[in-house]
Amino acid sequence: MYAQMVKSEASQEDPEKLAAFQKRIDANEKIEPKDWMPEGYRKTLIRQIGQHAHSEIVGQLPEGNWITRAPTLERKAILLAKVQDEAGHGLYLYCAAETLGVSRDELTEMLLDGRMKYSSIFNYPTLTWADMGAVGWLVDGAAIMNQVPLQRTSYGPYARAMVRICKEESFHQRQGFDIMMKMANGTPAQKQMAQDALNRIWFPALMMFGPSDKDSVHSSQSMAWKIKMNTNDELRQKFVDQTAPQAEYLGLTVPDETLAWNDEKGGYDFAEPDWSEFHDVIQGNGPCNADRLEARNRAWNDNAWVREGMMAHAAKKRAQKVAAQ
């Protein structure tokens, strides 16, 4: 997911306070910034929201890659508005993390020097226009699956950010599917492009949910705190169940020969992605890790003078105002 394999922190605090805190969570009360919270809850949230925010920002790059090559003026506008939304999502999430006592610049620097991660999916290249379709359809589709339940997460600012994000997400998956429909019903070359995109993006999309975590202590702590709402396997199953018929509608073949409806479980059977590839990507060896980090670092460093210049001007204006009074 946009936040993958987030380690939770155990809390060594007053058991009475911890119990009262858990009671509030169990009663579906929202935890707000000034409320008492266990250190572990705070730290885990910073990690999770920060990683989520970084994913939105790095996620601008693979789609931004095609804005200047969009085939029509309308497609260019739609894609630009979509990628712009992702910048907004990053912004809302950083603001939510800031309520926990960390600044946006601090989080940014942890992304830039590799101390913090972002979703594995954005380390894959976008090679053809059909990838804009497949990313919207599958990647945003997977993200929505995870984000909708997070609207009910226990931390107020995070939940509110998710509400806003989910509202905006609704057109992302649809515009992706719309591109796929055009391609799948287009010329033979376009159809081939669409199939190729599905072939490359299917398994990385399944990896977004992370490895099975049904036995993970981190996951069960996060679920008790309601900052994680479903297990990775639940969401992955839901995703496949939703997506497989859509691929069929498009007349495209999911690159998984074992994919088949299972009446008994009321869902599809499907092949697991190659988890060793996933771990390689997480370790920094995905096809685009180096490029993505370099692009983010360049944007940050080359433009430091802009941020500083704006601040210096604001300070001068303030000083003038004071002097005039």
Partner 1 sequence: MSDPRNEWPLWEVFIRGQHGLSHRHVGSLHAADAEGALKNARDVYTRRNEGLSIWVVEAAQITASSPSDKGPLYEPAESKVYRHPTFFDIPDEVGAM
Partner 2 sequence: MNNALFESLLRLGDNTLVIGHRVSEWCGVAPVLEEDIALANMALDLIGQTQMWLGLAADVEGEGRSADDLAMLRDVWDFRNVLLVEQPNGDFGQTIMRQYLFDQFHLLQLQHLTQSTEDRIAAIAQKAVKEVTYHVDRSRDTVVALGDGTEESNRRMQAALTKLWPYIGEMFAADAIDLEMATAGVIPDPASLRADYDAATRVVFADAVLTPPAGDFAHGGGKTGFRHSEHLGHLLTQMQWLQRAYPGARW
Report the partner that residue 164 touches, choosing among Fe ion, partner 1, partner 2, none (CB closer than 5 to 8 A by kind).
partner 1
Asked whether position 311 contacts partner 1 by CB under 8 A, the answer is yes
Residue 5's contacts (CB-CB under 8 Å, 6 or more residues apart) are: 210, 211, 213, 218, 282
Structural contact between residues 165 and 234, judged by C-beta atoms closer than 8 angstroms:
no
Contacts with partner 2 by CB under 8 A lie at 57, 60-61, 64, 67-77, 80-81, 83-84, 87-88, 90-91, 94, 129, 179, 182, 186-187, 189-190, 295, 298-299, 302-314, 316
Report the partner that residue 295 touches, choosing among partner 1, partner 2, Fe ion, none (CB closer than 5 to 8 A by kind).
partner 2
Helix (H/G/I), strand (E/B), else coil: 261: strand
Distance, in Å, from the CA atom of 25 to the CA atom of 249, rounded to the nearest integer, reads: 42
Which is nearest to 230 in space by CA: 47, 49, 217, 238? 238
Nearest to partner 1 of 101, 125 (CB atom): 101
Structural contact between residues 289 and 297, judged by C-beta atoms closer than 8 angstroms:
no
Report the partner that residue 35 touches, choosing among Fe ion, partner 2, partner 1, none (CB closer than 5 to 8 A by kind).
partner 1
Q: Using CB under 8 A, which residues numbered 27 to 56 contact partner 1?
A: 32, 34-36
How many CB atoms lie under 10 A from the CB of residue 58?
24
Least Å distance between CB 122 and Fe ion? 11
Asked whether position 92 contacts partner 1 by CB under 8 A, the answer is yes
Report the partner that residue 172 touches, choosing among Fe ion, partner 2, partner 1, none (CB closer than 5 to 8 A by kind).
Fe ion
Asked whether position 164 contacts partner 1 by CB under 8 A, the answer is yes
In DSSP notation, 5-28 reads: SPPP----S-HHHHHHHHHHHHTT
Which is nearest to 116 in space by CA: 52, 169, 22, 31? 52
Least Å distance between CB 79 and partner 2? 9
Region of 91-99, 187-195, 247-255, 263-271 interacting with partner 1 (CB under 8 A): 91-99
